[in-house]
Amino acid sequence: MSRPRGRHSLMILVTLLLGLAGVGQAQTMPAPPVTDIHLGVATCAGGPCHGAASTTKKNGVLQNEYLTWQVHDKHAKAYTVLEGDLGKRIAANLGIGPATEAKVCLDCHADNVPAEARGVQFKISDGVGCEACHGGGQRYLGPHVDGHITHAELVNNDGLYPTDRPVERAKLCVSCHVGDDTHVITHKIMGAGHPRMPFELQTFTQIEPAHYVIDDVYRQHKAVAKGVQFWAVGQALALERLATGIANDKHQGNGVFPELVFFDCQACHHPMSNLRWQKRASTGLGPGIPHFNDANAIMLRAIAAKVAPDLGKSLDADVHELHLALSAGEGNPGEIARRLAANAQKLGDVLAAHDFTKADMRDMLLAVAKSSTNGDTSDYAAAEQATMAFASIIYTLNTDGALDASAYAALKAGLNQCYGATEKEDNYDPVKFAAAAKSVTQAMPSW
């Protein structure tokens, strides 16, 4: 799905992120089998179920989830995008026929399960509907409606996908927003007109918006993880998918060029008159060298230094070696990327089980801010991720009651400066962003 760019989008992100709550449970589960029939959004949209026009909230369920999805959630409009001018233009440029029929488009812009897995009320035009995230309802719908089966039993026995768990939510979301073995957006597709795809799990979870409320009934069925945990796990799983893509032979590109979708866009795409490069202490790369998009790795360096330092050092070494392999031919990029992916996945599991304290969050925020002083945020993508990291951490500290009103206001003011510094990616100024990041650190209480 395309995402709005620039400050308009970013200011919406910060406003919503700081006012909503995150959820989750640090466990892992296999993905639901595709063989479960997808019954279609209509089966969830009845008034007594999830299709009420307003919140009735019976037994802990809002009951207007379908309306929230249909009106406010961009997933509901994902198929419609393919019918628009941009979708038509991209498909024409690629020569793939109508975007509404092309598998490469439908795999992420719709719940594109095989024909034999589509129920009688299923419509591909519904876009990314309920079952694209929660799994095909063939087995769990009846017991779910009956209400006598626990949430855990529906997940363990009946194919309900556990979107409340950080690792599992991350796996599901990055499969399209970053890519996996079956969902791949290439540089060719982006060259045909597809927008750049920035992603951060916690922020994007909140802006959809949430169609649930965390209350006592919710807590009876599911454990609640902190928003910062979704951020941290999301960074690890996004890097794992990126590294896995680099290592995959079928994603190596054609001719003399590698598959550039794994590289940092702004390393090449900025005006030649905008001399933006500065030395990055963490990579040792010189000017004029396109490099892979390591924005998630920069965030993970800040996270792992506090939570899992030994694993963080291994991951950092892998990132450094991968930079050298891709830019200077030192080593086998595929082997290094596979090792990096494995370490990122391990780190994701560690983060899913970690109980983040306010001291952890303070140290991580300061470490993210430090990346603006060593050249790591000279790249726009890293500054973008850093800004969303600040928002996730500040939001969690506030919901945990760790901030008084004045500290929260000061941190939000610094955060707004970061959003201002990342207002337009083509005019991004890393010096301005470093000053904004410093204002965030200055507002952070010492405790």
Q: At what angle do helices 358-370 and 295-307 cross, to 10 degrees?
A: 140
Instruction: List the chain domain ranges.
Output: 7-223, 228-443
Q: Tokens standing for 405?
A: 């009103």
d(CA 261, CA 28): 29
**What CA–CA distance (Å, rounded) separates 272 from 165?**
44
Q: 304: closest CA among 315, 294, 295?
A: 315
> What was the pLDDT predicted at 94?
97
Dihedral angle computed from the Cα positions of residues 364, 370, 374 and 380, in that order, rounded to the nearest 10 degrees:
80
Cα Dmax for the chain: 65
pLDDT for 23: 35
Give the separation between CA 28 and CA 314, rounded to whole angstroms. Answer: 23
CA pair distance 181, 2, nearest whole angstrom: 20
pLDDT at 11: 44
Question: What is the number of other CB atoms lying within 10 angstroms of the CB of residue 192?
Answer: 16
Query: The dihedral of CA 388, 394, 398, 401: what is its sign?
Result: positive
Cβ contacts of 431 within 8 Å, gap of 6 or more:
none
Encoding tokens for residue 320?
């450094």
Strands (E), 215-329: none
Residue 15 pLDDT > 60: no
Neighbours of 381 (CB within 10 A): 21
CA 417-420-423 angle, 5° bins:
155
Find where tokens 């003399």 sit: 256
Using the predicted structure, report yes or no on whether residue 28 has a pLDDT greater than 50. Answer: no
Confidence (pLDDT) at 66: 93
375 in Cβ contact with 332 (< 8 Å): no
Residue 299: which H helix or E strand, with range?
helix 295-307
The pLDDT value recorded for residue 21 is 36
Which burial class, exposed, middle or buried, applies to 197 when counting CB atoms under 10 A from its CB (0-12, 13-18, 19+)?
Answer: middle
- Burial class, 382, CB count within 10 angstroms (exposed 0-12 / middle 13-18 / buried 19+): buried
Residue 18: pLDDT above 70?
no
What is the number of alpha carbons within 13 Å of residue 100 lying toward its C-beta? 14
pLDDT band at 59 (very low <50, low <70, confident <90, very high): low
User: Which of 288-292, 315-319, 428-432 shows the lowest mean pLDDT across its residues?
Assistant: 288-292
How many CB atoms sit inside 10 A of residue 4's CB? 12
pLDDT tens for 235-268 read 999 999 999 999 998 877 777 788 999 999 988 8
Q: What is the pLDDT of residue 206?
A: 87
| Reported pTM | 0.90
Q: What is the DSSP letter of 268?
A: T
The 3 state secondary structure assigned to 395-445 is: HHHHHCCCCCHHHHHHHHHHHHHHHHHCCCHHHCCHHHHHHHHHHHHHHCC
Whether omega before 209 lies within 30 degrees of 0, making that bond cis, reads yes
Residues 6+ apart with CB under 8 A from 411: 390, 394, 397, 403, 440, 443, 444
- Each as own residue / partner, the long-range contacts of residues 401-404 (CB below 8 Å, 24 or more positions apart, any chain) are 402/358, 402/361, 403/445
Taking the CA atoms of residue 312, residue 313, residue 318 and residue 319 in that order, the dihedral angle to the nearest 10 degrees is: 70
| pLDDT score recorded for residue 328 | 80
Instruction: Give the Cα separation of 197 and 383 in Å (integer).
Output: 15
Structure confidence at residue 209 (pLDDT): 84
Q: Extract the runs of DSSP E, i.e. beta strands, from 183-336.
A: none
Residue 182 has pLDDT above 60, yes or no: yes
Please state, in angstroms and as integers, the Cα–Cα distance from residue 215 to each residue in 52, 218, 401, 438, following that order.
20, 5, 17, 36
**What number is the average pLDDT over the span 392-399?**
96
Cα dihedral: 199, 200, 203, 205 (round 10): 80
Residue scoring higher pLDDT (270 or 315): 315
Residue 291 near residue 381, CB atoms below 8 Å: no
